[in-house]
Structure 1
Amino acid sequence: MFLTMVWYFVWFLWIFLVVTVLVDVFRSHDLSGLAKAGWTIVVVVLPFAGVLIYLIARGDRMFVRKAGDLQDREAQFRAYVRDAAGGGGIAEELTKLAELRQRGVINESEFERGKTRILS
């Protein structure tokens, strides 16, 4: 029973590794279409040797590519949130008005008029 569970666990890890290598092949921007096809054929026809050769030849850059993809996704998400949140709010407008007053761009009466306009 225990040996069967270990066998299923190892089999699951192997499938995960093959899928990870194939995903990395297709997400890699530095490979041409022909190179992607070649790596895919090698991994599918000779799975053990193909995965091991890929990990030896290109495994050191797998993490770098994955980290870059995650950073790009995070930047896109943050840009989406900024756009969805709109152009600030009352607090941001009041802060900008106070900065203008501190720099001497506007005087106290202009500050009070702007403040009442924002708050109303």
Structure 2
Amino acid sequence: MQFWEILGWMLWAVVFVGYLFALFAIVADLFRDHTLNGWWKAVWVVFLVFVPFLTALIYLIARGQGMAVRSDRAAREAHSATESYIQRVAGKSPADEIAAAAGLLAAGSITADEFTVLKAKALS
């Protein structure tokens, strides 16, 4: 009997963790949805607190397709923001660095040997 009790508890633990994942996804989707009125968001949260399993099921059935769209849009925005941040922080492209070094060479700020070193560094 001990084995089956442990197996039963493990099953309920998996179900509970799955429910928590669904609950957090629903709450995140509620606050990600800008088309939903604040009062409707509050109603959904209240129902999630007092009738959790039924409300989660209804939410997933009624608004599940929109959840996927909003999640995809949020992921794309996060990816775009990350890419623009990396490009901004990474600095100039090698062509920009060589052009800047050529400008310094033309202005007489650096010698031809220093330009060659900067060019090699930019290309490496």
Give the shorter-chain TM-score range.
0.7 to 0.9
1:38 aligned to which of 43, 66, 73:
43
Q: How many residues align?
A: 101
How far has the Cα of 1:7 moved from its partner?
A: 1.3
- 1:104 maps to none
TM-score w.r.t. length of structure 2 = 0.71
What's 2:76 paired with? 71
Cα root mean square deviation, aligned: 2.2
Shift in Å, 1:94: 8.3
Please list every run of 5 or more consecutive structure 2 residues that lacks an aligned counterpart in the other structure.
1-5, 100-104, 107-111, 118-124
User: Which of 104, 113, 119 does residue 116 from structure 2 map onto?
Assistant: 119
Residues 41-94 of structure 1 deviation map (CA, whole Å, 9 limit, x = unaligned): 1111111121111112111111111111111011111111111111223xx248
Q: SS of 1:6's equivalent?
A: helix
Q: Where does residue 28 of structure 2 map in the other structure?
A: 23
Q: CA deviation at 1:95?
A: 8.4
TM-score (norm: length of structure 1): 0.73
Give the unaligned 5+ runs of structure 1.
97-112
**Contact 1:25/1:36 (CA < 8 Å) preserved in 2?**
yes
AA partner of residue 39 (structure 1): W
What is the percent sequence identity of the aligned residues? 30
